[in-house]
């Protein structure tokens, strides 16, 4: 039977090529455990946090076109945004603003996830997602 850690790795597309060796994975075993702890064991919320972290990392990638060869590294960011929106919808996070071109990085995952997104008119705004845990009423 698959563990919660295994299920989260599958949801993040981050399988270990060799069981128990996280050296070539995006997330270390400790990162996976931290995501599960931060999300109180909610697999969808943990996947949302993980994809948000990937999105932040991919925000710095650019497309490369030289000598007749090109690499469209921005596709990684676009796909990560799709996954953030997917898992955000499952956990009820307001991800509708995470469309278009991300121009910043997610910061301080323990407090909140903040992403600057470009609006259609070229304006920028910040979108914050609440961190898991008890909410004040």
Tell whether 67 is covered by a domain. Answer: yes
Q: Are 110 and 132 in contact (CB under 8 A)?
A: no
Q: Are 8 and 32 in contact (CB under 8 A)?
A: yes
Tell whether 8 is covered by a domain. Answer: yes
Residuewise pLDDT in 10s, the chain (137 residues): 889 999 999 999 998 777 767 888 899 989 999 999 999 999 999 999 999 999 999 988 888 888 888 888 888 999 999 999 899 888 876 554 444 444 444 443 334 444 444 433 343 444 444 444 454 44
Can you list the positions of beta strands (E) in 9-84? 64-66, 69-71
Q: What is the total count of domains within the chain?
A: 1
Tell whether 66 is covered by a domain. Answer: yes
- Give the position of tokens 């990162």: 31
**Residue whose C-alpha is closest to residue 82's, from 109, 111, 47, 108:** 47
Tell whether 81 is covered by a domain. Answer: yes
Tell whether 61 is covered by a domain. Answer: yes
What pLDDT sits at residue 125? 42
The pTM score is 0.63
Tell whether 132 is covered by a domain. Answer: no
Q: Which domain holds residue 56?
A: 4-96
Cβ neighbours for 20, distance < 8 A, ≥ 6 positions apart: none
Cβ atoms < 10 Å from Cβ of 94: 12
Tell whether 135 is covered by a domain. Answer: no
């Amino acid at each position: 039977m698959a563990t919660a850690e295994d299920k989260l790795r599958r949801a993040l597309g981050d399988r270990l090529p060799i069981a128990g060796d996280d050296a070539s994975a995006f997330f270390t075993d400790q990162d996976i455990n931290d995501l599960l702890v931060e999300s109180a064991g909610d697999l969808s919320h943990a996947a949302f946090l993980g994809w948000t972290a990937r999105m932040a990392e991919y925000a710095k990638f650019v497309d490369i076109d030289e000598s007749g060869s090109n690499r469209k590294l921005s596709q990684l960011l676009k796909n990560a945004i799709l996954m953030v929106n997917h898992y955000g919808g499952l956990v009820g996070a307001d991800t509708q603003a995470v469309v278009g071109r991300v121009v910043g990085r997610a910061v301080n995952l323990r407090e909140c996830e903040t992403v600057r997104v470009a609006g259609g008119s070229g304006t920028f705004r910040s979108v914050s997602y609440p961190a898991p845990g008890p909410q004040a009423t």
